Structure 1
């Protein structure tokens, strides 16, 4: 009896696979902090003004939007400012934590310590919250 059930399950599984009933492995969601399981994550929500200023020295920056798309990848010289419109959450990587960031109408804050690499994910807050 058990052998017959196991045989039936095996035949059903093979038939389902051959007939296309199984989902391809590439459609499984990957939860790796990539911004979501679809390409639509970056289009949800409104872009916010994001200002980055190299306050303590030059820095290399990599800025990603809510969908994981790179919106800035480059250098800022000492004192240089870059203003971007980015859909949050905004992921910022810098080679120098003294870079100041301001999202929306918030006051500028350093990303970390001067001369030290820093990573930060920033979510813009609505006015009045």
Structure 2
């Protein structure tokens, strides 16, 4: 649920996104959280926009997207979504192709392992 004007602490973002506080700090140091503000005392203050980005960031990271590509996406978002849509699309499509290739490889590995399990079950059945 989006709450306009909502502000979140690093700890709250950590819980909402499912990412450790240290990871949130790390990604901030890398410049991967666009438009992140700080309070007068230096604490990070996250908005709904930041929360949405952090959820996307977690998916990018969890899917194995290289940090350099995420950094490029972040920089392009800061430049303007309309002006950089084609470039951002190209980065995401490149990663999507890599994921699809990996999915095929994993499917082949699963089939391979299933054949071994089937063979072992047959051996056990024959020995009973």
Q: What TM bracket, shorter-length normalisation?
A: under 0.3
Which structure: greater strand fraction? Answer: 1
Q: Which has the larger radius of gyration?
A: 1
Normalised by the size of structure 1, how large is the TM-score?
0.21
TM-score (norm 2): 0.21
